[in-house]
Chains A and B, each alone.
Chain A
Amino acid sequence: MYPLGNSAAKGAGMIKLNVNGRVHDVDAPADTPLLWVLREWLGMTGSKYGCGAGVCGACSVHIDGDVLRSCSVALGDVGAGKVVTIEGLSPDGLSHPVQKAWLAHEVPQCGYCQSGQIMAAAALLKAVPKPTDDDITAAMQNICRCGTYQRIKAAIHDAAKGGAA
């Protein structure tokens, strides 16, 4: 059920993990999903549990700039990869262009999926600074049950223009 890569090491022991620029020594088995390491070992709860199966995207984080679903990445497979979570996206939690655009468009409803949506959008804009509608629909595959997709799309376009503030 949990596609956790090919991590060979299953035993406990300190594993180094770089999150938001800080290196942590994590005392968790190597096959522990990164999501639960972030949430339970490091106390960083901004990345959410939605499905545990890599389907919903609520747990999305960046590893070396790529957006990945942390519920489906094993701790032992992160290695020296630099993890960035919603908590580390901007120093004040508001100043990343995507966060600004989200605020301007009043994107969140319940907000539970938005950490993941914002991380996915930030990675998209880094890879494709001026995305088309098709770029956005291809990249944004996170589930939002409240249905904020229309505003997400508009906010991404706005962030790309640098217009939302």
Chain B
Amino acid sequence: MNQINGLGRRGFLGTVAAVAGGMSLGWNVPAAQAQGAASAAANSAATAAGGVEVGIWAVVMPDDRVIVRIARSEMGQGTLTGLAQLVADEMDADWAKVQAEYIAPEVNQANKRAWGDMSTGGSRGIRASVEYVRKGGAAAKAMLIQAAAAQWGVPAGECSASESVITHKPSGRTLRYGQVAAAAAKLPVPDNVAVKQPSEWKIVGKGVKRLDTVEKLSGKLIYAVDLQLPEMLNASIAQCPVFGGKIGSFDAAKVMGMPGVRHVLRVGDDTIAVVADKWWQAQTALKALPIVWDEGPNANVNSASIAKHLESGLDAKEAFVGLKQGDAEAGLKGAAKVVEAVYGTPFLNHATLEPMTCTAKWDGTTIEVWVSSQNGDASLAAAAEAAGVQLANVKVNKHHLGGGFGRRGQQDYVRQAVLIAKQVPGRPVKMIWSREEDMQHGFYRPITMAKMKAGLDAQGNLVALHARLSGQSILAHLFPARLAGGADPVQFQGWNKEEFGYQAIPNILIDHAMRNTHVPVGFWRGVNHNQNAVYLECFLDEVALAAGKDPLDFRLGLMGQMPKLRAVLQAAADKAEYRKKLPAGVFRGICANYGFGSYTAAVAEVSVSKQGEVKVHRIVAATDCGYAVNPDQIAAQVEGSFVYGLSALFTSENTVEKGRIVEGNFDTYEVMKLDQMPKVETVVVPSGGFWGGVGEPTIAVAAPAVLNAIHAATGKRIRTLPLKHHDLSHA
């Protein structure tokens, strides 16, 4: 980020062509405008089309359409629509005429990042944007009213706006936004505009339809993988299957005569690309290409050796402390009863259904890329670095993502596309990873284990908890500079002072023995909350049962310091009628978690046949994200979170043999299909006063709730995932 800021303060007039609702728009965005100076949209395609910027967040068309600028990425999570709701509500725009478009990263860059952070991860897309996008909408409304008032020669205070119409109250005269936009655009952008109180919202808080659905029903939406450009070539790549290995040798002559093949290229020191007229030709030739890899020092690493490495951390003396309260060691020593258990979870690929893809074109001085990225800013920087040019010589075309889940925050595939394009100047080259390449070269959810210890007093009160994590650190792999004295604070997600829900336990120690491997790790939707919640929430069930207490009552009794977490767990329990008996053979499990600024809880209703087949009949999931911008999209994220989270519980894992990932496709990396989808009932309980995330927090509660129900059904406590390795048959 520093690099972007450092290189980017040059300020030039950016012109971009944007497509909104099938219509091509362009505009100029002077750097000064972000500081509140007058808009200067002259000499642009926008003027020709009659659309004008009113402030920087909205373009108003003569027919009153409002096109909201979006800086974050849309990968299915609904952020694009939610952000448009926030801007449109403050503008008092007619929602039926609202559309959205991406702001180009280079335009953001050239304007001192006036549109803010483009990074779309950590469930921050809306909650980290709410202040400035709402102000942007409110500023646009003030400008439109001011322009109308000036036209009428009346005080602005006598005018109001509703559904894109301005009314002069004393005279009853009206003007539409499209009629005054040109005049409004010339006014200074006000600095200090007030935003609405929640009680005044008309569009925010409603489950309005998404703005981007129609094109997804007809096959017309162009994902990065679908791009077709004149003169375009296609590339398929092979990366050294062993992480850390390099290219040894390859015999290009063997495939150069194959249909369509143009080039066989080195891409850095560990990747080979075949470039052909068509991707299928490139892929066919790549498979026929004789390659010898220099597998490097990791060629003998396997899952068993990694497990041993992690086990060494469970009782290691040295560990980073994430949370300390009282004296856990003394508390355990003095306890009447000690409960102990070891848990573990595997590496997991994000497995976006659209594989990593990027198109790049090098013309000798500038590099242009077309990409599905979770971070337009980072794609711009990565393309510049790989091409060896200044940021001003880069153009990034953002496409909707065919899934992100954290994977597309990394820019490895952008760098590769640029390195390929630089060797094929003058023609765009679209690189598509095969599924196998995608599966075996991810940034995996880190492998971790946890040794959990709890001490109960004679009355069954939980008086001491020690959670020892052992496993791989994301920051150590991706951002070592962000380690704090060697420790990875991300490892303690859900388990730090801010997020840990059970601080009524008098003695707590949570620590981490870092055990890194050669496998690249990254931010997998929900990140470390997922594993930590499995360890803690299943273990708390074990402890509750050892104390002879009901798992719900036991938890509620420890949540005094976090009343909103307690309320959301209670809301889930109430909706699920927790105190009522279930039909014979059906059992409940519960779970709660606080992460990404939101409180989540789940109740699972599960049966397990004598033969060990699990059926999840019903999930009740409650979410308190503070303010609910679009309740229907929140429900969609909660429903989807159970598919992502329960895939990880039941079947998904990546294993390592001979230094490489074993699973190559969805036949071995199994994910949930429709037949396993439980009925998910979403309870949105927005308590107000804060903005929490939505896309990730529910994943954490999916697996533990079901695992706890499985224990209730079978008496079997499963402590290592995935479930497919366990025999759940029972008497």
Contact = CB atoms under 8 A, between A and B. Distances in A.
Contacts of A110: 75-76, 352-354, 400-404
B217 A106 contact: no
Interface of B: 75-78, 209-210, 212-223, 225-226, 228, 234, 259, 278-280, 351-355, 400-405, 432, 434-435, 632-633, 636, 639-644, 665-667, 671-675, 677, 679-680
B666 A143 contact: yes
Interface string A97-128: 00100110010111111110010000000000
A101 to B, nearest CB: 10
A87 B215 CA distance: 11
A86 B219 contact: yes
A51 B666 CA distance: 7
A151 interface: yes
Contacts of B640: 109, 146-148
Interface in A12-66: 12, 29, 32-33, 36, 39-41, 43-53, 55-56, 58
Contacts of A56: 353, 666
A144 interface: yes
Interface of A is mostly: loop
Contact of B354 (A48, A86, A147): A48
Given A106-B213, A118-B217, A153-B674, A147 B402 contact: no
A94 interface: yes
Residue among A85, A114, A144 with most chain B CB within 10 A: A144
B77 A109 contact: yes
Given A43-B228, A145-B403, A147-B640, A87 B673 contact: no
Contacts of A33: 280
B607 to A, nearest CB: 17
Interface string A119-161: 0000000000000000011101111111111111100000000
Given A93-B219, A147-B644, A109 B76 contact: yes
A138 B675 contact: yes
Contacts of B432: 49
Contacts of B210: 106, 108
Nearest to B639: A150
A103 B214 contact: yes
A52 B434 contact: yes
Contact of A50 (B214, B222, B405, B435): B435
A141 B641 CA distance: 19
Given A49-B355, A53-B435, A93 B217 contact: yes
Interface residues of A, number: 60
Interface of A: 12, 29, 32-33, 36, 39-41, 43-53, 55-56, 58, 85-87, 89-90, 92-94, 99, 102-103, 106, 108-115, 118, 136-138, 140-153
B643 A147 contact: yes
B353 A112 contact: yes
B674 A152 contact: yes
Contacts of A51: 435, 665-666
Residue among A53, A108, A151 with most chain B CB within 10 A: A108
A102 B666 contact: no
Nearest to B234: A40
A53 B665 contact: yes
Contacts of B643: 144-147, 149
A152 B640 CA distance: 12
A46 B640 CA distance: 23
Contacts of A143: 353, 666, 671, 673
B218 A93 contact: yes
B353 A150 contact: no
A145 B644 CA distance: 7
B218 A53 contact: no
